[in-house]
Structure 1
Amino acid sequence: MKKINTLMGIFLMVNMLMLTKAQSPGGVTGTAAWYKGDAGLSSTAWTDQSANGYNLLRTSSPAGSYFINFNPVASFTGVTANRFTNTSTKTSWPVSTAGNTYYYVAKDNLGSNADRAVYGMGPNWFTGIHSGRDGAGPIATSNRADFATSSASVTSPDWNLTQPNVGLNLVRSGYTGTQFYTSAQGGPEVTGAIASQANVTTNTFSIGATPDNILFWNGDVAEVIVYPGKHTATDYNKVESYLALKYGISKSGNYIASNGTTNYWNAAANAGYLNNITGIGKDDGSILYQKQSMSGNSGQQILIGLTGMANTNASNSGTLTDQQFLVVGDNGLAKTPSAPISSIPGVNYRFGAVWKVQNTASVGTVRIMWPQGLNNLKLVQNSSDPTFAASNTVTDMSANTQTINAVVYNYADVSIADGQYFTFAAYVIAPGGVVSNLRVWIKADDNPNGNTTDNVAITTWPNKTLIGGNFVGGAASPNTVALQTTGPLYRNSSAMNINFNPVAQSTSSSGLGMQNAFTSTGDDYTMIALNKNPTVSGFRNMFHFHGGANLNATSGGNEWFGALANLPIAWPSAAGSASYTANIPAVTTFSATGTGTIAYQVNSVSKGSGSSLSKSGTDLLIGVDGDGGLDDGIDIIMPENIMYNSVLGSTDYNKVVSYLAIKYGVTLGTFVSPVNYTSTNGTTVWSTAASSYHTNVIGIARDDAEALHQRISKSQDAVGDIITISTNNDFTNANSSTNHTDIVNDQFYFITGNNGAATTYNAQNIMNRRWKVQSTGTAQNLYIKTSDIQATYLIYADDAAMTTNVVNIPLTSSATPGIQIPNGKFFTFAKFAYCTKDPNPAPATNFTKIGITVQAKQNGWPENIPNGAVALESKTKGFVITRSQSSLIADPREGMLIYDTVDNCVKLYNGTSWNCVVRSCN
C-alpha cells in the first residue's frame, strides 16, 4: 500500500508539474508572478496565478466594470485606495542586479501630461524598477518613477490618446543586468543609461502606483507578468502573441502559439495587411480562449467572433479546439465606403479597408459585425482578388442585427478561408455622389430635430455624412460671446421655400456648431452653401472655423466665410467680386489648400480669390461668428451646407454643384459661359451644347445616390421664367408633399432651359421664347404650367422654329396634361384661335354621288347630302385611316392624312410638314 501511495504521489506531482508547465503565458514557464483580469481579480484583491502566491491587495476599486477587448481588467483613478500592493517577502522575485522581464498591458485613460507608474518594485518611487508614463507620453522604464534621468523610453507608440493606439499598449520592460529596457507592441527594445535597480525581496511591489504611493496610474491594467531573467526573442514572442491576441493589440512580427511551432499570423505572408490585427483562438498552453475580438486601435473597427457573440468574451457560447486560430489584419485604408464598385447590385461603394484572413486548423463559421447605420450593408469576400473586381461572394448584413454593449451591429455569419480577403460595401448617399473626404452635409429637407412645423428653432441638425454627429445649439454668440441655445429657424412655407424646398433662416442670436467637423487644422477644404441674402448690405456669416476649448468658448482665430454686402469674402482676406442679388439664391463655394489662396465661386463662376486662410480649429460653426465680432449670420437663409476636407477636383465639384442647382432651381454658369450639369454616375444631364438655351435652367430629377428627388421645379434666378414643371397637376405644394407623384426610376433627369427671348408672340401666334429639353433615363409623364394667360397650347417639335414633327398640346388652366417631351426636342407656347366660318345660306350647287353604308338604304341617299364627295355611314363601325409614322411616308402630298403611331395623333401634311390635327387652324 505504501508503494502504491508513493507512486500515486509521484504521479500527481508529475501531472501538477506538467499542468504548471503547460499553463503559463505563451507557454513560457518560470513566472515569478502573473496577474490577469480574467482570473483572481476582485474589488480588493488580485490573486497571483503563478505558483508563488504573491497576491495583491487594495482598499477599493472604482465603481463599474472595465474591459479591454471584452476581457475584464483592473481600473485605477489615481487615488491611493485603488492601488494593488504586496509588502511580503518575495523570495522568487528578480531583485538586485539580476536581469528580469516584466510584461504588461495597460491603457492610459487620462491622457494629460504627468509621470504615472503602471507598476513599481522597490522601497520608494526613486529606487528599484518602475514602468509607466513619462510626462508628455513616452513609455518609460527606469529606477525612478519620474523617469527623469536616462530612462529607457519608447516614444512611438506612446500613452497619448490622440495616437492610433489610443493609449493602449503591450509593454515589455525590465532590466538586462546592466541597464533598463522598454519595448512596446513587440517593437525594438530601447535601453537607458541607468545601470542600477536597487531592490530587494522585502520591498513592496505595486500595480497602479509607486511602492510608496507617490505617483499613480489613471487608467486600466489588464495583465502584469513577471519573470526572472532576460527573455530571449523566442520566449517573448510567445508571451506577447498571447497578450496581443487576447487584448486586441497589433504587435510586430509573427504570432506564435505556446507550442512554439504554430504560427497563426505570419507577418511576411500577410504583408500589406498588418494594421489593426485582431482575431480569435484557443491555446490551452496559455489558458487563452478568445472567442470574440475587436482591435483596440482608434476609429471604428470590425468585431469578429464565434456566432455566440455576447457582451463579454467569457459569455460567448461558441467553441474552438486547442490550436484553432482565426486572425485578420487590414490594409490601413479608410473604414468607410470610399471605393466605387459597380459589380454588386444594391451598393455603390465598398470600403477602402480590405482585410486578409489567416485561418489555422479550419475555424468554421464566424460572425463578422459592423455598427448599424450604413444602407444595404454587404460583406464581400474574395479568394484571391483584394480589388473585388469579379468572382465575389456577397452576403447581406442589413437584415441581421445584434446589440453588443449597447451598440447595434449588422452582421453576417460566414466561413472565411485561409488567405481570403473581405471588405464591406454599402449604398452611400452624398451630394453629387462624392463621398471621399465629405465631413459635413446638413440640409433643411431632412427636418432637423424632427421638426416639420414652420418657424421653429433648430436645436439639433444631424450631419448626414459617414462621420455622423450633430450641429447643436451652443455656438459662440456673435455679440455677447455667450452660450447660444438655439439654431436658425426651420422655415417651410410657400413664401420662404426655395424651389419648393424648406430652408433654415439665421437670426441675430442664433448659431449652431459641431466639434471635430474636420480631422485637423491647416489642411485643405472645400465649403459649399446654398444661400440667399434678404438684403445685400453688411456682413453675413456662413461658416466659421472654431478653435475654442468648446463651442461656447471664443475661438482662437477670427476666420469666417460669408458675404460682405453683395461680395463673397473669407475674412480677413480680400472680398471677391460682385455676386449676390437680394432674395436670389446662389451656390457659394470657398476652397483652398492648407496654405494656398482661397478661391471664390458663385454659381460655378469664379469670383476672385482671397489670401491664405487655413483652419485654426477643427470645429465648425454655422451662421455665426465665434470670435466675438459682429459679423454674424443675421437673416441669411441657408437650406444646405456641404464641407469636404479636400479641394474638390473639377469633375467632383461639378457633380456637387449640379445637385444643388437642380434641387434649388439655380442656373450654373452664364449664358455666355454655360456649365454642364452632371449626375452622380458621371452622365452629362445638361450639356453646354445647349448653350443658346442656358437661361433659367431647371429640372425634374431623381438620383438616389445623392437623395435627390425633385418633383416640382421653377427657376429661382433673378430674371425668372414663366414655367413650372411638376410630376402631376400640383404646381403649388412643397416638393416633399405626398400630393406629388413620385419619380419612378433612379437616374431620371428632365432638364430644360430657355433662349432668353421675350414672352411675346410672333405673327403665327407662337411665343418667341423657346425651351430645349435634355431628358435622361426612363421617361415618365410630366406636367408643365405657364404663367402666361394668353397661351392655349404647348407645342413641341424637332426644331426651334417649330416646323418639323410639331405636336400641339392643349392647355387646361394654363397647364398641360401629363406628357413626355422626348430628349432633344424644343417647346414653346401658342395662342391659337379656333377656326370658325359662317354657314353658306346659298342653295347647294353640288351633291354627293358616292355613298358607303352598313345601314338600311334610304331614299334619295347620298344625293340628298349637299356639297359632298363621299358619304360614309355606320353605327357600329369606325373609320380607319392609315396607321404609320410620318417619318416613313416617302412621298407625302399636301392634304394627306395618317394616324401617327409615335406621336399618337391624326396628322395632316400641309405641303411642308406633318402636324397633329387639333382644334385650330391646321
Structure 2
Amino acid sequence: MNFCKIISLLSVCAILPAYAQSPGGINSGLVIWMKAETGWTAATWTNQSTTPLFAGISQLNVGGTTAPAKINNAGFNFNDAIQFTAGAGNVTGIAYSTTNTYSTTNFYGGSTAATKNVTYFGVSNSANFDLFSNFWSNMTTGQCGANRCNSGFRTNSVQFGNATQAIVYPATSRNNIGVGRRVSSTNRSSFINGIETNSTASDTFNDQGNYAFSIGYWPVFFANYAIPEILWYNRNLSNVEINRVNSYLALKYGTTLTQTTAQNYTAGDGTTVYWDNPSANVGGAFIYNIFGIGRDDASGLHQRISNSANNSGTTTTSGSYLTISTNNNFTASNTSANHTDISANNNYLMISDNGGALNTYSTAISGIPNIQRSNRIWQAQKTGSAIGCVYYQFNSITNPTANQRYYLIAADNPTFTTNVSIKEISVSGGTATIQVNQNAGTSNYFTIGLWDNTNIADVADTPFGIDLTKTSGWKPTSKNGYMQINSVGKSLVLTRVASTAAITSPIEGMLIFDTSDNTTKVYNGTAWRALGIIFNRFCN
C-alpha cells in the first residue's frame, strides 16, 4: 500500500462518527437524557443526549432551603438518584428549570398539530410521577388554562397539551417505569412497566405561548422524592423500540417488566434477548421479581450488583430477598471501584422466580431425603460465558434452630431431578451467602432446602458388633456406634451385582458395587445414586 492510500484511509477514519451510547441503543430523536450518575451538580444538570435540546438545566429556587442532592444506593438498585426536598405544602423548594424559550416544535415531531408526536420516559419510586418532568407554557388563559398546556408526567397521568392519559401504578412495586407517547391526535398511550394503555379519543393539540422544561417542578409545586433518570424523544417510538428502552431501565433499576402481556428483555444491539418469556414459562411460570446483572455497551450500562425492586413489605412477595453481585460486596454502589467488572459486552445473568411463598418449606425433593424445599423457586437465564462465579446473598431467612440446617439446591430442571447439586449454607442474622458457578449446567433452577430433625425420635440402644469369641450372651449396645475394620494388606469388598435391578427389595442406606457400569452406589430410599459423581455448580 502506498503512502497516499495510507493517508486516505486515515482521513476516512478521522471523519467517522464516534459510537453513540443511548438508552436501549435508541438514539434517533433523543433530545433529553438526564442521568443522576453523569453530569449532575447541585447548580446544573447536564444533558447527556448527543443531539441535545439544551446543554444543561439550571437550578430554580422558590423559597427553598434544601438543595437537591445526589444519593447512592438508596432504593435504585445500587445506582444514583437525585433527591428533591420540598418545603411545607410542596409550594416552596429547589428544582431545575429552563426559561420559557421553547415552542412545541422543539420537543414534538410531526408536521401538523394533528400528527405531532413525542415519547418520554421516567423511573420513580414515588407513589406517582407528579412533577417528574414537564414542558409547560407561560400561558394560563385561553385553551391552556390552569393546565398550562402541560406535556409530561402529572398525578396518575401522562399529558399532551390538554389531553390526559391515565396511568395506574402497581402497589407492590417501586422503581416503576412510566412512558407517555403521542402518535397523533387520535392515538395516545401510557405505559407502566411495559404494559400499554391506549386511547383513540380525539384531542385538541395546544400550542400557545412559550414553554419551559422543568425537573421536579411545575408551577407552583415542587417534588419531594428522588429522580434517577429522564428521557425525552421528539418522535413516537415503536413498541419494539419502547421495549428496548424499557429493558435498559428495568435492568438498571431492578424493575420487573410486567408479564401479563409477554415481554422479553432486549439489549441495545436490538437482537440479543437476555431474558426470554417463553423460556421462563418452561416447567412453571418463572415471571416474577425479574432482575439481573449485565453489560450493554450500546446503552452505556454495566450493572454489577442487583436485586429486584419489587417490595410490598412482606417476605412472600419481596423481590429483595435475593441479591446477586460479581463479588462478595452487597452494600456498595454499582461502580467498577466497588465491584468486579463483567469482561465482555452482551453478557447477562437474569433471575426470576415462581412467586412462591418464602420461608415456607413443604415440598420433598426426589432423591434427597429429610429435606423440604422452599415454595419459592428461582430460574437463572444466562447470556454469554463471561459471567462465571457469582455471589448470591439471601436475606430475611428465618434463623435455624440447633436441629436445623439450610441448603442451596440447584438443578437443570424445576423438579430438581437432573444434574442436582446441593450445598449447606450458613445462616447468620437472617442472611446467607454462597458463590455459584453460572457456567455449570445447561439451565439453572435453584431453591433453598431445610433439613429439620426436631421431630425425629432418638434411636434406641440396639445390639451392635461382630463377635468372633462365641461368648454366650455377648450383645453390646451403643448409641451412634460405628464399626472399624483394619487390615495391613487387605480391603473391604462390597456386594457385587450385575445391576441395581438385582436388588429386588432395597432399603435406605444399602451399598453395592454395580458391575454394569463399575460404580459404587447407595440407595437413598427412593433411588440408587452413584457415589463420587457430583455435578458441582458451586465455586470454591
* Structure 2 residue identity aligned to 1:605: I
Task: Report whether the alignment pairs 1:520 with 2:106.
Answer: yes
Q: Is the 8 A contact 2:413 2:445 kept in 1?
A: yes
Report the counterpart of residue 303 of structure 1 in structure 2: none
Report the counterpart of residue 327 of structure 2 in structure 1: 728
1:64-103 matches, cutoff 5 A: none
Query: Structure 1 residues 896, 504: closer, same or farther in 2, change over 3 A?
Result: farther
1:621-700 matches, cutoff 5 A: 621-625=214-218, 629-630=219-220, 632-670=221-259, 672-681=260-269, 682-689=271-278, 690-691=280-281, 692-700=285-293
Report the counterpart of residue 497 of structure 1 in structure 2: 75
Query: Structure 1 residues 582, 573: closer, same or farther in 2, change over 3 A?
Result: farther
Deviation at 1:704, TM superposition (A): 1.7
* Structure 2 residue identity aligned to 1:828: T
Task: Report whether the alignment pairs 1:429 with 2:21.
Answer: yes
Q: Is the 8 A contact 2:68 2:95 kept in 1?
A: yes
TM-score (norm: length of structure 2): 0.70
Report the counterpart of residue 164 of structure 2 in structure 1: 574
Task: Report whether the alignment pairs 1:795 with 2:409.
Answer: yes
Report the counterpart of residue 390 of structure 2 in structure 1: 782
* Cα distance between partner residues in 1 of 2:322 and 2:513: 33
Task: Report whether the alignment pairs 1:818 with 2:435.
Answer: yes
Q: Is the 8 A contact 2:254 2:290 kept in 1?
A: yes
Query: Structure 1 residues 653, 727: closer, same or farther in 2, change over 3 A?
Result: same
Report the counterpart of residue 766 of structure 1 in structure 2: 373
Task: Report whether the alignment pairs 1:809 with 2:423.
Answer: yes
* Structure 1 residue identity aligned to 2:378: W
Task: Report whether the alignment pairs 1:844 with 2:465.
Answer: yes
Q: Is the 8 A contact 1:599 1:606 kept in 2?
A: yes
Q: Would you say how many aligned residue pairs link Structure 1 and Structure 2?
A: 444
1:11-26 matches, cutoff 5 A: none
Q: Deviations over 1:137-183 (max 9, x none)?
A: xxxxxxxxxxxxxxxxxxxxxxxxxxxxxxxxxxxxxxxxxxxxxxx
TM-score (norm: length of structure 1): 0.43
Q: Classify the secondary structure of the residue corresponding to 2:342.
A: coil
Query: Structure 1 residues 577, 652: closer, same or farther in 2, change over 3 A?
Result: closer
* Cα distance between partner residues in 1 of 2:333 and 2:16: 37
Question: Higher relative CO (CA 8 A, sep ≥ 6), structure 1 or 2?
Answer: 2
Deviation at 1:750, TM superposition (A): 0.5
* Cα distance between partner residues in 1 of 2:489 and 2:390: 39
Q: Deviations over 1:17-45 (max 9, x none)?
A: xxxxxxxxxxxxxxxxxxxxxxxxxxxxx
Q: Is the 8 A contact 1:437 1:645 kept in 2?
A: yes
Query: Structure 1 residues 462, 669: closer, same or farther in 2, change over 3 A?
Result: same
Deviation at 1:784, TM superposition (A): 1.0
Q: Classify the secondary structure of the residue corresponding to 2:417.
A: coil
Report the counterpart of residue 586 of structure 1 in structure 2: 176
Query: Structure 1 residues 772, 522: closer, same or farther in 2, change over 3 A?
Result: closer
Deviation at 1:620, TM superposition (A): 2.9
* Structure 2 residue identity aligned to 1:572: N
Q: Deviations over 1:93-129 (max 9, x none)?
A: xxxxxxxxxxxxxxxxxxxxxxxxxxxxxxxxxxxxx
Report the counterpart of residue 471 of structure 1 in structure 2: 56
Q: Is the 8 A contact 1:897 1:908 kept in 2?
A: no
* Structure 2 residue identity aligned to 1:526: T
Q: Structure 2 unaligned runs (5+)?
A: 87-92, 110-116, 140-144, 313-317, 365-371, 469-480, 491-498, 504-509, 515-519
Q: Is the 8 A contact 2:149 2:207 kept in 1?
A: no
Tell me which of 84, 103, 106 is aligned to 1:506: 84
* Cα distance between partner residues in 2 of 1:907 and 1:709: 46
* Structure 1 residue identity aligned to 2:361: Y
* Structure 2 residue identity aligned to 1:429: Q
Tell me which of 538, 551, 559 is aligned to 2:150: 559
Report the counterpart of residue 70 of structure 1 in structure 2: none
Report the counterpart of residue 493 of structure 2 in structure 1: none
* Cα distance between partner residues in 2 of 1:652 and 1:892: 62
Q: Classify the secondary structure of the residue corresponding to 2:75.
A: coil
Q: Is the 8 A contact 1:678 1:686 kept in 2?
A: yes
Q: Is the 8 A contact 1:440 1:517 kept in 2?
A: no
Deviation at 1:807, TM superposition (A): 0.6
* Structure 2 residue identity aligned to 1:624: Y
Q: Is the 8 A contact 1:548 1:556 kept in 2?
A: no
Q: Is the 8 A contact 1:783 1:819 kept in 2?
A: yes
Query: Structure 1 residues 598, 543: closer, same or farther in 2, change over 3 A?
Result: farther
Q: Classify the secondary structure of the residue corresponding to 1:426.
A: coil
* Cα distance between partner residues in 1 of 2:103 and 2:298: 22
* Cα distance between partner residues in 2 of 1:907 and 1:447: 63
Query: Structure 1 residues 685, 583: closer, same or farther in 2, change over 3 A?
Result: closer
* Cα distance between partner residues in 1 of 2:266 and 2:513: 42
Deviation at 1:591, TM superposition (A): 0.9
Deviation at 1:811, TM superposition (A): 1.7
Q: Classify the secondary structure of the residue corresponding to 2:413.
A: coil
Deviation at 1:460, TM superposition (A): 1.4
Report the counterpart of residue 715 of structure 1 in structure 2: 308
Query: Structure 1 residues 567, 687: closer, same or farther in 2, change over 3 A?
Result: same
Report the counterpart of residue 176 of structure 1 in structure 2: none
1:228-307 matches, cutoff 5 A: none
* Structure 1 residue identity aligned to 2:432: A
Report the counterpart of residue 476 of structure 2 in structure 1: none
Q: Is the 8 A contact 2:255 2:310 kept in 1?
A: yes
* Cα distance between partner residues in 1 of 2:124 and 2:354: 26
Q: Is the 8 A contact 1:541 1:624 kept in 2?
A: yes
* Rg comparison, structure with higher value: 1
1:125-274 matches, cutoff 5 A: none
* Cα distance between partner residues in 2 of 1:783 and 1:592: 43
Q: Classify the secondary structure of the residue corresponding to 1:832.
A: strand
Identity of aligned residues (%): 26
1:372-387 matches, cutoff 5 A: 381=12
Report the counterpart of residue 739 of structure 1 in structure 2: 338
Query: Structure 1 residues 832, 741: closer, same or farther in 2, change over 3 A?
Result: farther
Q: Is the 8 A contact 1:604 1:668 kept in 2?
A: yes
Q: Classify the secondary structure of the residue corresponding to 2:408.
A: strand
Report the counterpart of residue 474 of structure 2 in structure 1: none
Query: Structure 1 residues 574, 795: closer, same or farther in 2, change over 3 A?
Result: same
* Cα distance between partner residues in 2 of 1:773 and 1:618: 47
Q: Deviations over 1:328-377 (max 9, x none)?
A: xxxxxxxxxxxxxxxxxxxxxxxxxxxxxxxxxxx969999xxxxxxxxx
Q: Is the 8 A contact 2:168 2:192 kept in 1?
A: no
Q: Deviations over 1:861-900 (max 9, x none)?
A: xxxx9846786989xxxxxxxxxxxxxx9999985799xx
* Structure 2 residue identity aligned to 1:490: K
Report the counterpart of residue 859 of structure 1 in structure 2: none
Q: Classify the secondary structure of the residue corresponding to 1:579.
A: coil
* Cα distance between partner residues in 1 of 2:240 and 2:70: 32
Q: Structure 1 unaligned runs (5+)?
A: 1-362, 369-377, 382-394, 396-411, 413-422, 450-457, 848-864, 875-888, 899-905
Deviates more, 1:783-792 or 1:799-808: 783-792
Query: Structure 1 residues 870, 429: closer, same or farther in 2, change over 3 A?
Result: farther
Q: Is the 8 A contact 2:125 2:176 kept in 1?
A: yes
Query: Structure 1 residues 558, 895: closer, same or farther in 2, change over 3 A?
Result: farther
